[in-house]
Structure 1
Amino acid sequence: MKPRYLILALVAALGVAPLLLPPFYVTLLNYIGLYTLVVLGLVLLTGVGGMTSFGQAAFVGLGAYTSAFLTTVQELPTWLAWAGGSPWLTLLVGLALTGAVALLLGALTLKLSGHYLPLGTIAWGLSLYYLFGTVESLGGHTGVSGLPSISLLGWQLDKGEKIYYLIWAVLLLAMLLTQNLLDSREGRAIRALKGGQLMAESMGVNTFRAKLVIFVISALFAALSGWLYAHTQRFVNPTPFGLHMGIEYLFMALIGGVGSVWGALLGTGILTLLKQWLQDLLPQLLGSVGNYETIVFGLIIILLMQRSPGGLWPVLTRLAPANWKPRKAIAQFADAAQLPCREQPAHGETLLEARDVTKRFGGLVANNAMNLEVRAGEILALIGPNGAGKSTLFNQLSGVDNPTSGDVLFRGQRINGLPSRSIARMGMSRTFQHVKLLPEMSVLENVAIGAHLRGHKGVLSAALRLDRQEEAELLNEARRQLERVGLGDYLNTEAGSLALGQQRILEIARALCANPCLLLLDEPAAGLRHKEKEALGLLLSRLRSEGMAILLVEHDMDFVMGLVDRVVVMEFGQRIAHGLPEEVQKDPAVLEAYLGVTE
């Protein structure tokens, strides 16, 4: 059975549910729909973007209170009077206000990292919660009552079974838009955040913008849920918008599968129904009234996190038949137009140049007046014993770090201080000493991240599927590069299942997807077996013959000396030798550095 048939079956079941179920269960389904809308934002923010937020309930309250205030206050300010006539108009105001607040809070909070980020979300979540209960015009802790019902085409949605269809229509639409977003260039940029900001920036992704985008989207989903909640209950008070509810939303996401759109619905449904059943069952078993369901539920969540830390949805998808699992339709993009390529520099042209590059960390001099140049159509090796300062220099050449003094020039332009994504756009691409990829994504999608800077469609185009032609071209480019490096048979394979050697080749394919004229490879042969090193050497030789310039940082002397055109040797942060491989191997300073002997 194809996944779309399962979706159609779900929609059909939701359509007849109010006709077959008692009002109590229709109300529960309404709550599941409202909660899932909030959890869907957490899928983007936490599951995909890797940022934990405890403050989503406050955004729900912002949407609810905006509509409650505008529809119940007798005399609105003149500039707001137009919005008080209809809940639909208050929705627009609520989304605009929430978006503005989310932009401000995101600009402040998302610069935090580690445990400071979730603590920051707790801080502004509590602030908004107490704001709702303190402002007299919002009813204080008593709340606001008398909200009007939503009217749709003259039909008053004043009962649970009537607004039910609106809630679920909005939710299913939000799920579709979210899935479209994730299945796009912008979605890959967002998912790349979990692979590390260094990798994402090096592939041309503006990581702060990507974080801010999903932060605002998750806030808007929460505000939309709050608007629906307010006009379903027709009463609002601060209680449902506190920190405890923010934690509960996270539990819902974790139970279902925090990285999955459908996991949001699964986790919300399980938690809501199980909580209700435990509230009914436990007092009968224990003979007294209390919050026993919270205790039991906490134990269940701990057990689930131990047994299935990814949530229940990934478990279900693993158990599902192979023909139920969606795959990229390769035939749809195999014949797509090839992306335009940059004009390659003339053979022998100097592309990258380090001029007296010095890097100090306090009193430690990691690089001291380093000089080198890389030319088009050659492989230059940067070698040296451990601690020689190779990685420090590599990071300065690729824009990860800035020299204390000296200049780095790429194609004649000084790039000191430029972000990695800007340097990538100029034609420099890199791999990493420790492989950085997204193991649960396919090989094809991992490589397509490298083509990010070659696309232009934004978030709205992705959500509405207006980017399909560009998406086909980007995926076609990823396929082309995988075939170029010999991984064309692994397009739909999970990247994490590849052998280490194949993963390093995948990183090279991803770097090539950015259409560079210069490749920076950080120990690409590390951990490879002999045959894998031979295959890597053949690939690099082929790239050189096509006009590519390659800077190679490597420890394996046998691999380097039989491959490269020129060698630069470092020791204690300084260049001690440079020239042809056969010359460098005989240099007394090199022999002393590596073998501790002199001629």
Structure 2
Amino acid sequence: MKPRVLILAFIAVLAVAPLLLPAFEVTLLNYIGLYALVVLGLVLLTGVGGMTSFGQAAFVGLGAYTSAYLTTTAQLPGWLAWAGGSPWLALLLALVLTAVVALVLGALTLKLSGHYLPLGTIAWGISLYYLFGNLEGFGGQTGITDLPPITLFGLSLEKGEHVFYLIWAVLLAAVLITQNLLNSRQGRAIRALKGGQVMAESMGVNTFRAKLVIFVVAALFAALSGWLYAHTQRFVNPTPFGLNMGIDYLFMALIGGVGSVWGALLGAGVLTLLKQWLQDWLPLLMGSQGNYETIVFGLLIVLMMQRIPGGLWPLLVRYLPVAPVRRVPPAPADPLARRLPPTKGMLILEARQVTRRFGGLVANKEMDLAVHAGEILALIGPNGAGKSTLFNQLSGVDVPTSGEVLFLGQRINGVPSRQIAQCGMSRTFQHVKLLPAMSVLENVAIGAHLRASGSVLASFAHLERHEEARLLAEARQQLERVGLGGYLFEEAGSLALGQQRILEIARALCADPCLLLLDEPAAGLRHKEKQALAELLARLRDEGMAILLVEHDMDFVMNLADRITVMEFGQKIADGLPEAIQADPAVLQAYLGAE
């Protein structure tokens, strides 16, 4: 059975559910839909972006209270009077206010890392919760009553079975929007966050902007849920918008599968129904009233996290009667624009007296380096010589303590690596940095991020199809170029280490660079794979590309490099042609094992 058929069957079941189920079960389904809308934002924020937030309930409250205030206050300020009494106009203002608040909170919070980030979300979540209970005009802990029902096409959605269709239509639209986003250029940039900030920035991704985008989207989903909740209940007070509910939303995401879009619906449904059943049955078993369900529920969560850390949705997918999706390789498309290749022999990269100190440790000392178009320069030296530190300074990941780095004649000290990538520098990493759960094709397409310009809004509506086809066609071309054309739809994490290194080179080539920085590209490759890599790099050199590589395989280096620079203890000890380096006494003693 095709996934589309299952989705249509699910929609058909939803369509008849209010006609067949008692009012109480319809109400439960309404709550599941409202909760799932919030959890969908957490899938983006936590499952995709890797950022844990305990504050989503506060955004739900922001949407609910904004609409409640605007639709029940008799004397609104003049500049708000136009929105008075209309839930739909109140929704518009609620979303605008939520977006502004999320931008401010995101700008402050998302600069935190580690355990400070979730602690920061707890802080502003609690602050907003107490604001709802203490702000004049919000009714204190009693709340606001007598909210008007939502009306649609002249029909008043007062009853649960009426508003049911609106809640689930909004949720399914949000699911579609989320899937469109994740399957786009912008979505790949967001998913690249899990591969590490250094990798994403080196591919041209503005990581802070990507984090802020999903933070705002998650907040808007939560505010939309709050608006629906307020006009379904016709009453709001601060209780549903506190830290406890924020924790419940995270639990729902974990139960369903924090990385799965449809897992948001499953997690919201399982948690809501489980809580209801525990509240009904435990008092009968225990013989008294109490919060026994919280204890049992907590134990079940711990057990599930141990046994099924990926959540229920990935487990369920294994047993669904779904036919494998037939994946068709990207068709040829209009080629992406390419930069003008530099003139052979042109100076591409130059390091002048670059020194990098870490406290009292001097990792690089007065390093000079020059790479020209149409040549391969190898940087060699024993472990701890400072090669990777120099690489990071050349690519913008780190900043020299003194000296300067020039790329295409421009000083790039302190310039963000994504801006340097835009100018034509691309790199691989000593320790492979890929997104193992993404396909090989999508991993490589991340490299072309800067060669397109589709916006987030265009991604929501899937309006960037033509651009997306061009990006995927480029990624396929580069994979075929490096010999991985037969692995387009394999998960990147399933490839052998040597193949993953080749994949990184394909990703770097997808950026259309004029300078390629390769950090130990031959490590883990078999003999024939090394020969194929050497042939590829030689072809790139002949096309006019400048290549700087760090490598420990001396046979590979000596047979490929045009020039070699040797480092020891952060300093340059030799620079010249391969045959001269092989005969240099200082190199023989420091690196090649002379007695």
TM-score w.r.t. the length of structure 2 is 0.98
Note the C-alpha offset of 1:543.
Answer: 2.1
Residues 72, 85 of structure 2: 8 Å contact kept: no
Note the C-alpha offset of 1:590.
Answer: 0.6
The answer to whether 1:282 aligns with 2:282 is: yes
The superposition leaves residues 162-183 of structure 1 with CA deviations (integer Å, 9 ceiling, x where unpaired) of 1000000100001101100000
The answer to whether 1:521 aligns with 2:518 is: yes
SS at match of 1:351: strand
Following superposition of structure 1 onto structure 2, how do residues 176-191 of structure 1 map, counting pairs within 5 Å?
176-191=176-191
CA–CA distance in structure 1, aligned partners of residues 318 and 503 of structure 2:
24
- The residue identity in structure 1 corresponding to 2:470 is E
SS at match of 1:138: coil
- Equivalence for 1:324: 323
The superposition leaves residues 322-366 of structure 1 with CA deviations (integer Å, 9 ceiling, x where unpaired) of x63446543xx4121111111111112111111111112222221
CA–CA distance in structure 1, aligned partners of residues 375 and 318 of structure 2:
46
SS at match of 2:338: coil
CA–CA distance in structure 1, aligned partners of residues 576 and 374 of structure 2:
16
SS at match of 2:113: coil
CA–CA distance in structure 2, aligned partners of residues 378 and 520 of structure 1:
12
1:342 corresponds, among 339, 353, 357, to: 339
Compute the RMSD of aligned alpha carbons. 1.2
- Equivalence for 1:567: 564
- Equivalence for 1:367: 364
- The residue identity in structure 2 corresponding to 1:501 is G
Deviates more, 1:390-399 or 1:301-310: 301-310
SS at match of 1:440: coil
- Equivalence for 2:35: 35
Following superposition of structure 1 onto structure 2, how do residues 439-454 of structure 1 map, counting pairs within 5 Å?
439-454=436-451
In the alignment of these two chains, the number of paired residues is 595
SS at match of 1:324: coil
Residues 476, 485 of structure 2: 8 Å contact kept: yes
Following superposition of structure 1 onto structure 2, how do residues 483-502 of structure 1 map, counting pairs within 5 Å?
483-502=480-499
CA–CA distance in structure 1, aligned partners of residues 522 and 292 of structure 2:
57
Residues 63, 95 of structure 1: 8 Å contact kept: yes
Following superposition of structure 1 onto structure 2, how do residues 27-426 of structure 1 map, counting pairs within 5 Å?
27-320=27-320, 324-326=323-325, 328-330=327-329, 333-426=330-423
Note the C-alpha offset of 1:319.
Answer: 4.1
Shift in CA distance, 435/319, structure 1 to aligned 2, threshold 3 Å: farther
- The residue identity in structure 2 corresponding to 1:57 is A
- The residue identity in structure 1 corresponding to 2:12 is A
- The residue identity in structure 2 corresponding to 1:421 is R
- Equivalence for 1:579: 576
Note the C-alpha offset of 1:556.
Answer: 1.8
The superposition leaves residues 488-540 of structure 1 with CA deviations (integer Å, 9 ceiling, x where unpaired) of 01111011000000000000000000010111011112233333333322322
CA–CA distance in structure 1, aligned partners of residues 530 and 282 of structure 2:
63
CA–CA distance in structure 2, aligned partners of residues 153 and 594 of structure 1:
79
Residues 566, 587 of structure 2: 8 Å contact kept: yes
Note the C-alpha offset of 1:597.
Answer: 4.0
CA–CA distance in structure 1, aligned partners of residues 106 and 497 of structure 2:
37
Residues 389, 570 of structure 1: 8 Å contact kept: yes
SS at match of 2:560: coil
SS at match of 1:269: helix
The answer to whether 1:539 aligns with 2:536 is: yes
CA–CA distance in structure 2, aligned partners of residues 327 and 164 of structure 1:
35
CA–CA distance in structure 2, aligned partners of residues 506 and 314 of structure 1:
27
SS at match of 2:355: strand
- The residue identity in structure 2 corresponding to 1:100 is V
The superposition leaves residues 244-265 of structure 1 with CA deviations (integer Å, 9 ceiling, x where unpaired) of 0000000000111111110101
Note the C-alpha offset of 1:572.
Answer: 1.3
CA–CA distance in structure 1, aligned partners of residues 121 and 532 of structure 2:
48
CA–CA distance in structure 2, aligned partners of residues 328 and 32 of structure 1:
33
- The residue identity in structure 2 corresponding to 1:377 is G
Task: Mark the runs of 5 or more structure 2 residues left unpaired by the alignment.
Answer: none
CA–CA distance in structure 1, aligned partners of residues 89 and 98 of structure 2:
14
The superposition leaves residues 372-428 of structure 1 with CA deviations (integer Å, 9 ceiling, x where unpaired) of 111111111001111111111110000101111111111111111110110101010
Residues 186, 458 of structure 1: 8 Å contact kept: yes
Note the C-alpha offset of 1:596.
Answer: 6.0
Residues 376, 547 of structure 2: 8 Å contact kept: yes
SS at match of 2:588: helix
Shift in CA distance, 391/41, structure 1 to aligned 2, threshold 3 Å: same
SS at match of 2:345: coil
- Equivalence for 2:454: 457
- The residue identity in structure 2 corresponding to 1:355 is R
Note the C-alpha offset of 1:595.
Answer: 4.9
Residues 327, 492 of structure 1: 8 Å contact kept: no
- The residue identity in structure 2 corresponding to 1:552 is L
- The residue identity in structure 1 corresponding to 2:532 is A
Residues 263, 312 of structure 2: 8 Å contact kept: yes
- The residue identity in structure 1 corresponding to 2:3 is P
CA–CA distance in structure 1, aligned partners of residues 536 and 217 of structure 2:
42
The superposition leaves residues 127-159 of structure 1 with CA deviations (integer Å, 9 ceiling, x where unpaired) of 000111112310101111010101111100011
CA–CA distance in structure 2, aligned partners of residues 335 and 561 of structure 1:
38
Residues 566, 578 of structure 1: 8 Å contact kept: yes
TM-score w.r.t. the length of structure 1 is 0.98
CA–CA distance in structure 1, aligned partners of residues 136 and 420 of structure 2:
53
Shift in CA distance, 360/507, structure 1 to aligned 2, threshold 3 Å: same
The answer to whether 1:436 aligns with 2:433 is: yes
CA–CA distance in structure 2, aligned partners of residues 267 and 237 of structure 1:
25
- Equivalence for 1:11: 11
CA–CA distance in structure 2, aligned partners of residues 326 and 429 of structure 1:
33
CA–CA distance in structure 2, aligned partners of residues 391 and 318 of structure 1:
43
Residues 317, 325 of structure 1: 8 Å contact kept: no
CA–CA distance in structure 1, aligned partners of residues 576 and 464 of structure 2:
49
